[in-house]
Amino acid sequence: MAAQRPIGYWLKELDRLINARFEDDLAAAGLTRRHWQMLNSLAEGPRPAADVRDGLAPFWNDLSEWDIQLAYLVDRGDITDDSGTLALTTAGRTTHQEAFALIGKRRRAMLDGITDEQYGETVRLLERMAENMAAQQ
């Protein structure tokens, strides 16, 4: 029997696959996963740009890209920037809803055969592992 791969392998592999599949799904709409995250962060209403940026910081490899990605969404008419407060436009709400449907379909496929309880327990375990590692600084 082959050796079982460690959790780090599966975390990296799942992250790679999520990024690749979500990027594929969103590309048809001219969006990236980072665009999706920005749009989704504004779905409940306007927010200060700094709050959106800071909330998404863990997902970005390079925060200097923030201005470029924000400008793209502003230029295409999905987001307005009113003196540092970001909001979805009517077109942006439509873009978000369409992307939300794509992402939802992909998430449902990812969770095929996994119960709500199993998913919840997995998230709780990963959260606990992260807390344990953070406490070891």
CATH number of residue 91's parent domain: 1.10.10.10
Asked if residue 59 is part of any domain, the answer here is yes
The structure's pTM equals 0.81
**Number of separate domains in the chain:** 1
pLDDT of residue 55: 93
Residues 6 or more apart in contact with residue 72 via CB below 8 angstroms: 35
10-55 pLDDT per residue, tens: 999 999 999 999 999 999 889 999 999 999 999 999 999 999 999 9
Q: What percent of the chain has pLDDT over 70?
A: 98
Q: What stretches of 4-89 show up as alpha helix (H) in DSSP?
A: 7-27, 33-41, 49-56, 65-75
Span of 3-7, 43-47, 67-71 with lowest mean pLDDT = 3-7
